[in-house]
Amino acid sequence: MKRVILPLFALVSYASNAQFSIVPRVGMETFRTTITPGDFSSFSPMGQQFTPSLSVRMAYKLKSGPGAYIGVATTKQAVDFSFADPLHAATAYTAAAKNLQLRLEGGYQFTSKAIALRKPVNTKSFASKYAGRTTSETARRCTRSSSISRCGGMRNSANTAAASLSKITPKDEGLFLRIQPSVGLAYAPIGGGIETTTKNGSTNYTYRAGSTTALVAGTAFEFGTKTQTKFIVSVNYLQGLGNNTQTVTSNEMLKPTTTTFSSKTSGFNVSLGIPIVFKKKPAVIAAPPIINRSSHHGRCGQYRSYQL
C-alpha cells in the first residue's frame, strides 16, 4: 500500500507547485530551402521566403523554472522542384511553394526569475504617511479643545480620509521581465519521393524539397507583473535535420544515369503571444475582526483593541 500512496503523494505535491499555460501566438516566419541536384552546388530556387505564422504552445512549468512544452504552428517551408532533364535540373526547372501545412513542436524550456524593469510604487506607504500627518495634526488640535467627543470625531474623520485616499490611489505593480530559453524538435510531414508524370511523350519530374524534422531553439521574453505575465515576445531558429535524399534514374544516350537530389530547410520566426495561465490559487484565511473601543483613562484619542 505504501508503494502506491507515497508516489501518489509526491505527484500531487509536484503538481501543486506547477502551472499550466496556453499561449496563442501570431507572427512572421522566414525560411530558406536549398537543393543540391547531382554534382551541382546547392542553391535556393525560391530564395528567402516570408510568410505569416500562427501557433499555439502549451507549457507545463514548475515554480523553480524548468518545464516542458508542446505546440502546433503553420508553415510553408516545402518546395515543389520540377524539371524535365535530371542532368540539367540546376538550370532548367520550375519551383513553387507548397500549400500551408501544420508543424508539430515539443521540447524543454526554462524560465528565469523576474527582473524588475520598473519598480512598483508603494501606495500604502503614501497613504500611511498621510494618515500619520492628519492624525498628528488632529492630536495637536485635540489638546487645545475642551471637548473629548469632538476630538475623537476629528481623529476618526482623519483615519476615514486616509483610508479613502488609499482606495482611490491607482495601484502600480511595476513591470517585470522573465527570460525563457527553449530547445526542442519539430515535425512537418512534407511527404517524400519524386513524382513522375508523362505528357506528350515527355517525362517530367517533381521533387518535394524540404526538411521533415528540424531542431528548434529560441528565447522568449515574458513581460508583466511579478505574479502575472501580460504578453510574450518569442524568437526561434529552425535547422532541418537530414538531407531528404532522393534519386532519379534516366536514360542518357541509351545509358541509364542516376542523379541524386538532396535538400534542407532553415529559418527563424518572431511572434507575439498572450498567455492563458491555469494555476492553483492559494487559500485565503480571513483575519478575525478587531473592534476599537474607547478606554476609560479619559485621555483624548486613545483606544484599546479587542479581538473577537
Tell me the β-bridge partners of 269.
29, 236
Cα separation, 219 vs 200, whole angstroms: 53
Cα separation, 90 vs 192, whole angstroms: 20
Report pLDDT for 186. Answer: 96
Mean pLDDT by 10 residues, the chain (308 residues): 42 58 95 90 91 94 90 92 90 89 95 86 55 51 46 50 51 82 94 83 89 95 88 95 88 78 93 86 59 52 51
Kind and range of the H or E element at 153? helix 148-168
For every residue of 88-142, DSSP letters joined together read GTTTS-EEEEPPPEEEEEEEEEE-PPPEEEEPPB-HHHHHHHHHHHHHHHHHHHH
pLDDT tens readout for residues 228-238: 889 999 999 99
- The model's pTM is 0.68
The C-alpha cell that represents 244 in the structure block: 531528404
